[in-house]
Amino acid sequence: MAAPFTLRKIGVPPNSANLTEARRRVFDFFRAACRSIPTIMDIYNLQDIVAPSQLRYAISAQIRNNAHITDPKVIDLLIFKGMEELTDIVDHAKQRHHIIGQYVVGEGLVQNTGNKDQGKTDFLKNFYTSNYF
């Protein structure tokens, strides 16, 4: 289990000097997250649900959601929060259903084929689709 050591090795200093340095730290975080995917797959037994490439896509999608941010201080804060989340996941501070709900089903990697909204009004169908993941 070399992944936890690798995660702790990458520290996030309080402030990046400029946008280029902040961007480099984002790539370092992405590499650290991708390197921890095999460990995460083993810890949470995700082999039957999702492929490692799909988890890499989920991580990159989370990063792309914040691509419009150009303030290095905000980027540093988001990297810190991402490292905290990744550390919690690798240290097994979350349960399997948290990972599946947030990063597998929440990202649309697994489609829910159940027909749970059958017989519901249009209002309730729109309400459910807007509030689930």
Is there a contact between 25 and 75 (Cβ–Cβ < 8 Å)?
Answer: yes
Q: What are the angstrom distances between the C-alpha of 132 and each of 18, 106, 125?
A: 37, 8, 11
Dump the DSSP string for 78-98. Answer: HHHHHHHHHHHHHTT-S-HHH
Query: What percentage of the chain carries pLDDT values higher than 70?
Result: 74
Per residue in 43-70, pLDDT tens?
Answer: 999 998 899 999 999 999 999 999 999 9
- Mean pLDDT rounded to a whole number for the chain: 81
Per residue in 78-109, pLDDT tens?
Answer: 999 999 999 999 998 889 888 888 888 865 55
Calpha distance 119→125 (Å, rounded):
9
